[in-house]
Amino acid sequence: MGNQELLERAFSLAESGEVANIQELRHALIGDGVSLSDLAQFHGRALSAQLSRKIILSRRRVTPKMPRGDA
């Protein structure tokens, strides 16, 4: 997988709601066949922050709201 494809897949996973955090994102990428050496290239703070924001926003969108009980 090339660098561009890796970035696109990482952002796609982050926006999908399928992963809950960066660690799960990394495991999903490894499951997709990304090597550890390729993955190691994408560890910057700015990139992690962008992906984390996407994950948080997608999880809010995907997670159903629980009704508030009167109990």
Q: Could you tell me the residue range of the domain that residue 52 belongs to?
A: 3-62
Residue 67 located in a structural domain? no
Whole-structure pTM value:
0.78
- Closest Cα to residue 56, out of 22, 6, 27? 22
The kind and range of the H/E element at 49 are helix 45-62
Residue 70 located in a structural domain? no
Buried b (16+ CB within 10 A) or exposed e, 4-27: eebeebbeebbeebebeebeebbe
Over residues 20-53, the pLDDT tens digits come to 999 999 999 999 999 999 888 777 899 999 999 9
* Number of structural domains the chain divides into: 1
Share of the chain above pLDDT 70, in %: 86
Residue 28 located in a structural domain? yes
Residue 69 located in a structural domain? no
- Closest Cα to residue 15, out of 60, 55, 42, 61? 55
